[in-house]
Structure 1
């Protein structure tokens, strides 16, 4: 089978890591692969390590529409917002079918070109139940399939892990890792830290990330010694190994790739009951869920986990079993079944 993957993002965030993980798995499965990617993206260098993958550099969705690019492809798999237009044009020009993987739980745009691109797709894939719900509202007649992301694994340097632990020695280390956008709930984390500052001084919060909200968040956290802004991190494997707990109190979330990654690394998680997060976390079984924006509940959950080793062990054991359902081998099989159905 020959699949053309398209991701035109210039950065390398969760969606690009998920694209790479699927391509790597499909290479192991014997697929022929083409990847249409933005030349500015670090994804390019990652893909060059996969011999089975032909790379097409494409700076904009209006470029690189030669027939030869997809002449031998069974279908196009879209992974990112702008890429859907590239697939639409290739479909209209050369009749190549395409599917779309949607990663965000926002309502779909009403723009005519966007609606046309979604309508012409052979199938729409949502990472979570909430994304499927949003797709169904705009495209009720489309073929909708839920296929989640898979956890990305990161290398771990034991020396760096020990450095982090030494820096926070004697602390129960809580991390919140995400781009600093308003919907990621960093304000909830800071307020939870404020509630715990006097009663639980041994609980330390590290905010891992950067973004346009950082300045206002730093102002909000002024005077709190139990909150540290660590900036964007490239060694998340070390942080997962060094931390005691991951929190992810987003107001909205497509699925929550960092939750999958933390659970796969053996780290317990508290998330918000928002977007696709409940698709991952079974409340009080494989983690904990709080109401979005409820900093008091977040603080209480953190405090209780800190004091209850039995509960912590229970959550870790169940999260390990839960995460197996999101393994890339399982997700790749679901995509393969969809590809074959569309191919006929």
Structure 2
């Protein structure tokens, strides 16, 4: 029988986005077979959106919060405690602190690995024993030593748990709420409203595309760019902003197609969710999107190209639903690969 591992996950954020959801789902499936602890900041609620990883965590995952002294002392205590067989850090802040403690000789002897949810930085990940890359572009730019000690394990998507009837009811309800005209096509996009998501270019392309009057663009999310984006939309009835939502990916039932205009997308989880929902998609060839759509190059667009994005929107307006092969992107497969990666070191 395979031995039970004592796993410590480390995350130092105050929001709930793709990485936080990734960790909530991974820790939940690991907790079925292993002892899982999650070290978090003292407060994890996003002041702008109210999103918080706390509400998405499995009860079987033990939560440790940083105290008044901050995250670094709490992390140092956990690393030296002898209570963990493997430490798994996520994102730069937690990873950089673990690296600093190791360089200072204050981390004990427990092996430390990380998932690269974004770009590699030596300051954050240079002392780690191993790295999980979620997309091939990350692996390709690693220093040689780190490349030899990495594993490529893509993110996953979870099939809808609701019935077809429930999804149909949700679709009808949301389209009534958004006042979608009868027979109207809804092209959706979602993400944190920041510059790299390139929603400004999407709005320009939408205005230029000349789509049917009943076709709608729905932008799901919030962030510092939202006011500027709403100003760029000029109050047009065919461009809708839903704000931050906690019901993605169920909300995808209300869409007919999906677009990802990002300048950079470390992985592209929301794209994967749209494909799981059977939506036709188009996305800029940025980061992990190139891996996801490697077998569908006709769905890829050059990055930051107004003309290509405009043409992509026109294609989506008339595109039929599409059944994608999602077998590579199942959480059980990923969790098994992560466990095998851990056992290299413990």
- CA drift at 1:283: 5.6
CA distance in 2, matches of 1:45, 1:209: 18
Retained in 1: the 8 A contact 2:268–2:288?
Answer: yes
Provide the residue aligned with 1:111 in structure 2: none
CA distance in 1, matches of 2:246, 2:308: 30
Match for 1:172 among 174, 179, 185? Answer: 185
Match for 1:13 among 7, 17, 30? Answer: 17
Match for 2:275 among 236, 257, 263? Answer: 263
User: How does the TM-score come out when normalised to structure 2?
Assistant: 0.85
Retained in 1: the 8 A contact 2:267–2:287?
Answer: yes
Match for 2:151 among 135, 145, 158? Answer: 145
Alpha-carbon displacement from aligned partner over 1:51-82 (angstroms, at most 9, x marks no partner): 2x221112633121325874131110011211
SS, match of residue 25 in structure 2: helix
Provide the residue aligned with 1:162 in structure 2: 172
- CA drift at 1:171: 1.2
Give structure 1 stretches of 5+ with no counterpart. Answer: 109-113
Between 1:234-243 and 1:144-153, the stretch displaced more is 144-153
Alpha-carbon displacement from aligned partner over 1:296-320 (angstroms, at most 9, x marks no partner): 2223233234335xxx34xx22x2x
Alpha-carbon displacement from aligned partner over 1:235-292 (angstroms, at most 9, x marks no partner): 223420110011111001100111112222222221110111111113646x711011
User: How does the TM-score come out when normalised to structure 1?
Assistant: 0.85
Matches of residues 162-311 of structure 1 in structure 2 within 5 Å?
162-166=172-176, 167-168=179-180, 169-197=182-210, 199-222=211-234, 224-282=236-294, 284=296, 288-308=299-319
SS, match of residue 333 in structure 2: helix
CA distance in 1, matches of 2:23, 2:342: 16
CA distance in 2, matches of 1:12, 1:304: 32
Match for 1:125 among 107, 132, 135? Answer: 132
SS, match of residue 266 in structure 1: coil
CA RMSD, 1 decimal: 2.3
State whether structure 2 residue 42 is matched by structure 1 residue 39: yes
CA distance in 2, matches of 1:172, 1:45: 33
SS, match of residue 341 in structure 1: coil
Alpha-carbon displacement from aligned partner over 1:124-158 (angstroms, at most 9, x marks no partner): 22211122233x1xx32222222111125676665
CA distance in 2, matches of 1:163, 1:273: 33
Provide the residue aligned with 1:341 in structure 2: 344
Give structure 2 stretches of 5+ with no counterpart. Answer: 45-51
SS, match of residue 259 in structure 2: strand
Retained in 2: the 8 A contact 1:282–1:288?
Answer: no
**Distance verdict in 2 for CA 1:154–1:212, change over 3 Å:** farther
Match for 2:64 among 50, 56, 62? Answer: 56
Provide the residue aligned with 2:48 in structure 1: none
**Distance verdict in 2 for CA 1:69–1:56, change over 3 Å:** farther
CA distance in 2, matches of 1:10, 1:306: 37
> Number of aligned pairs?
320
Alpha-carbon displacement from aligned partner over 1:74-133 (angstroms, at most 9, x marks no partner): 11001121111343356532221100111114x63xxxxx52x52221012221112223
Provide the residue aligned with 1:104 in structure 2: 118
SS, match of residue 260 in structure 1: helix
SS, match of residue 126 in structure 2: helix
CA distance in 2, matches of 1:272, 1:145: 25
